DNA sequence: GAGAAGATCTCCT
DNA sequence: GGAGATCTTCTCA
């Protein structure tokens, strides 16, 4: 499996399609302590003015302006005073879109992840990264990474074969969004223990 | 400049 | 199954 970053053309497409195609790709986080990697197993698509649940629904603000820029950029935000969430921006400049990475299956650097996110005593291995706040904590993703280019090798990027056969995909409505939109824009790999 | 809501998680009953 | 924790960003004055 290649560890070459996915090119910008991968991201600057329809957001729904990118959300599906990101399943099975490898998220790579490099820190002073070492490298951590994980397979993406769950995503959600967020769009622009037609999507009430999206930060970009009311147009570009200081926070959401990254969603209107080029694709392939890390969009990180802070919610509930506790959790960071990691997104990859999509669509061409001028069109809003982002894909929330909700869960990964840890592959490498698991020791570091456990240090970043100590687990309660009797928890299962899957609890390490099976949720957006959890994986951000485990991989030490903070607001400092907001705006990171995911198409070049750096502190944070996504790799994988662009044309690799996608795993079996299941679909459902998005989780935790209140504003209307029961749109089926959550995607996850079937039969995987690490989905939230 | 104040007030409110939020793409969550953990622990408790 | 439900409340509480805690801070960034947005909205409106």
**Which tens digits make up the pLDDT trace of A22-70?**
999 999 999 999 999 999 999 999 999 999 999 999 999 999 999 999 9
Q: Which of A19, A10, A98, A95 is nearest to A54 (CA)?
A: A98
Q: What mean pLDDT is predicted for residues A97-109?
A: 97
Q: Nearest nucleotide (C1') to the CA of residue A58?
A: C10
Q: What percent of chain A has pLDDT over 90?
A: 86
CA–CA distance, A196 with A188 (Å, rounded to integer):
9
Q: Is the CB of A165 under 7 A from strand C?
A: no
Q: Which residues of A83-109 are buried (b: 16+ CB within 10 A; e: fewer)?
A: ebbbbbbbbeeebbbbbbbbbbbbeeb
Q: Which of A162, A161, A145, A194 is nearest to A43 (CA)?
A: A194
C-alpha distances in Å from residue A15, one per residue of A27, A29, A138: 18, 23, 26
Phi-psi region for residue A169, left (φ > 0), alpha (ψ -120 to 50) or beta? beta
Give A62 CA → C8 C1' in Å: 11
Residue A150 above 70 pLDDT? yes
**Pair A43, A102: CB distance under 8 Å:** yes
pLDDT digits (tens, 9 = 90+) for A68-98: 999 999 999 999 999 999 999 999 999 999 9
Phi-psi region for residue A176, left (φ > 0), alpha (ψ -120 to 50) or beta? left
C-alpha distances in Å from residue A68, one per residue of A65, A156, A167: 5, 20, 29
Q: Report pLDDT for A187.
A: 97
CA–CA distance, A155 with A132 (Å, rounded to integer):
18
Length, in residues, of chain A: 196
Q: Is the CB of A180 under 7 A from strand C?
A: no
Q: What is the mean pLDDT of chain A?
A: 94
Q: Report pLDDT for A165.
A: 82
Confidence of residue A153 (pLDDT cuts 50, 70, 90): very high
Confidence of residue A1 (pLDDT cuts 50, 70, 90): low
């Amino acid at each position: 499996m290649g560890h070459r970053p996915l090119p910008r053309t991968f991201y600057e497409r329809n957001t729904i399609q990118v959300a599906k195609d990101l399943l099975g790709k490898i998220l790579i986080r490099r820190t002073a302590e070492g490298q951590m990697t994980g397979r993406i197993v769950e995503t959600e698509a967020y769009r622009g003015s037609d999507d009430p649940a999206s930060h970009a629904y009311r147009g570009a603000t200081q926070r959401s302006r990254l969603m209107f820029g080029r694709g392939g950029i890390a969009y990180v935000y802070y919610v509930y005073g506790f959790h960071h969430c990691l997104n990859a921006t999509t669509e061409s400049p001028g069109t809003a879109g982002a894909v929330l990475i909700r869960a990964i299956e840890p592959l490498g650097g698991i020791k570091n992840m456990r240090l970043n996110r100590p687990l309660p005593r009797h928890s299962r291995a899957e609890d390490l990264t099976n949720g957006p706040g959890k994986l951000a904590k485990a991989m030490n993703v903070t607001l400092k990474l907001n705006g990171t280019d995911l198409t070049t090798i750096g502190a944070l990027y996504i790799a994988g074969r662009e044309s690799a056969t996608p795993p079996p995909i299941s679909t459902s409505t998005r989780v935790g969004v209140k504003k209307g939109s029961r749109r089926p824009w959550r995607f996850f790999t079937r039969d995987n223990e690490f989905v939230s």
